[in-house]
Amino acid sequence: MLNGPRKDNSTTFSSPKTRQKSLHLQIILARTQLREGKLSEGIETYFTIATEMVLKGELGKAAAIYKLILKNDNHNPLALVFLSSLYHHQGLGAEARQLYTPVEGETRQEKTSPVDNITLSEIGELEKILPTRKIEKNETIITQNQANHNLYLIAEGRFQVIHQETRGQALELATLGKGNFFGELTMLLPNRNATATIIARESGKLLIVAKEEFRRFLETRPPLLETVFAAAHKRLIEYTLRPLFISGDHRDRPWLSRIAEVFQVRQFSAQELLLKEGERNQNLYVILDGNLQVSCQDSDIKNQIPITNLNAGDFFGEFSLLTGAAASATVKALSTGWVACLKRREVDRLAAHFPGFLPRILNSFRARKQDLIKKKINYLSTQPRQGLKGKR
C-alpha cells in the first residue's frame, strides 16, 4: 500500500526502509517488536505508519494506528494529543474526551490491558452453569491484604483494580470488563491474601468459581485453565517486580507488563536446591512465593553457614550473573513456591531499558556480600577453635 512510486511533488518525503514496506508488513513488524518486548521500537513503527497515513491524507487510518499505540502505551502523550486532534477534526470531541478521562490517582497511572480474556460466547455458556452474583455500583468485591476465596468472571459491568502502595499512594492498575476475570491469584496461591482491591464502577454481574471447586471445574476445560493460570503467573510477576523496576516515575509503569512477559515462571518444592555453591549460574531469580534459605560452606569447618532467608520479592543469582564466577552460595527451598527466572541476555536487555535496574541489583549484591562476611565472622566466633584445631 505504501510502496508505490512517490509523486514528484512530494520531494520532501524520504523513502527509507520501513516506509517502503507495505502497511500490512509494517503492522506485522510493529506487533513482532511489541511481542518481543521492544516497546519503544514497536511504538515507533506504529508512529511511522500513522505519520505516513497523515501525510497521505488518510486520517481515519491514522486514528486507528494512534489507538493501537495507546493500547500498548496508554500514556503516550503525543498519541493522545494527536488522536484527540483527529477526533476533533472529524467532529468527534466526546470520544476524544473519553481518552482523557482522568485516571484517579496522583499521576495518570497505567491501565494494563488485561492479558486474561474469556471469549464472550464462553461467558454466555458459563453463565448457564455457574452461580452468579448481582453487583451494585461502588461495591467492593475484594479488599487488598484480605483473604479471598473465589475466582470471579465478569459477565456484566466494569470493575476497577486498585493497588494501595506502601507510601499511601493508590494506583488504579486496570479497569476490567466483560470477559475479564479476577481473583485468579488465590487459585494459584490459596494461602495468599489479595494483592489489590476490586471495586465495581457500575452495577454488574459476576460468575463465581469457589476455590474448592476451581480445579475440578477447570480441569474439564483446559483452555480456560491455561488462560487463568497464565494470567495468574503474569500478575504475580508484575506484582512482585513492581518495586524492582518502578522508580516512582509513572512513565515507567506501562513497561511492567512487557517485563513480566520476559520472565519464565516455575514452581519449586520444599528442600529443592535452586542454586548450588560452586556451580555455574546463568539466571537471575526473583521469588514470587515461598521461603528459601541462603547458606554457604565454610572451607575450614565443612559446615553450611546459614546466611539469610529469602521471601517473595527477594532475588538471588545476581552474584554469579554479575561476576561470571561460580555461585557463591547455595539456595535451598524451605517450602514450596514459585520463582521467576530471567536469562542473562535478558538481564542485559532490561538493564539497557531501565537504568535503575542494575544499580539496584548491585546494591543488594554489596549488602549481601557484607552480610555474608559478617555472618561468617559471627559464626566462627561461636565455634571456639574446634574447626581450627581439627585442621591442625
Partner 1 sequence: MIKAIALKKSFFLDKREITVLKGIDFTIETGERIAICGESGAGKSTLLQIIGSLDKPSSGSVSFSGVDIFSHSEQELAKWRNTSLGFVFQFHHLLPEFSALENVMTPALIKGIPMPEAKEMAALLLQKVGLGERLRHKPGELSGGEQQRVALARALIMQPKAVLADEPTGNLDARTSDEIVDLLLECNREFNTTLLLVTHSQRLAAQMDRTILIENGLILEL
Name the site residues for partner 1 (rule: CB under 8 A): 12-14, 16-19, 43-44, 47-48, 51, 54-55, 57, 59, 62, 76-78, 80-82, 84-89, 91, 93-94, 96-97, 100, 102, 104-108, 140, 143, 162, 164, 168-170, 197, 199, 248-250
| 3-state SS class at 355 | coil
The least CB distance from residue 158 to partner 1, in Å, is 16
The least CB distance from residue 148 to partner 1, in Å, is 15
The least CB distance from residue 168 to partner 1, in Å, is 7
Half-sphere exposure of 321 (CA within 13 A, CB side): 22
Cα angle 338, 341, 344 (rounded to 5 degrees) comes to 170
**C-beta of 14 vs 382, nearer to partner 1:** 14
The least CB distance from residue 278 to partner 1, in Å, is 43
Q: What is the residue type of 242?
A: R
**C-beta of 3 vs 271, nearer to partner 1:** 3
The least CB distance from residue 109 to partner 1, in Å, is 11
The least CB distance from residue 98 to partner 1, in Å, is 8
Q: Enumerate the β-bridge partners of residue 205.
A: 134, 156
The least CB distance from residue 191 to partner 1, in Å, is 23
**C-beta of 172 vs 238, nearer to partner 1:** 172
Decide if 115 contacts 261 (C-beta within 8 A): no
**C-beta of 71 vs 280, nearer to partner 1:** 71
Q: How far apart are the first and last CA of the chain?
A: 83
The least CB distance from residue 36 to partner 1, in Å, is 19
**C-beta of 60 vs 384, nearer to partner 1:** 60
Query: In terms of Cα–Cα distance, which of 220, 223, 206, 221 is closest to 148?
Result: 206
**C-beta of 223 vs 243, nearer to partner 1:** 243
Across the beta sheet with 273-275, the strand order is 273-275, 330-333, 292-297, 304-310
**C-beta of 104 vs 279, nearer to partner 1:** 104
Q: How many residues would you count in the chain?
A: 392
**String of DSSP letters for 21-78:** S-HHHHHHHHHHHHHTT-HHHHHHHHHHHHHHHHHHT-HHHHHHHHHHHHHHSTT-HH
Helix (H) or strand (E) holding 262: helix 255-262
**C-beta of 13 vs 306, nearer to partner 1:** 13
Judging by beta carbons within 10 Å of its beta carbon (0-12, 13-18, 19+), is residue 333 exposed, middle or buried? Answer: buried
Task: Please provide residue 84's backbone torsions phi and psi, each rounded to the nearest 5 degrees.
Answer: -60, -40
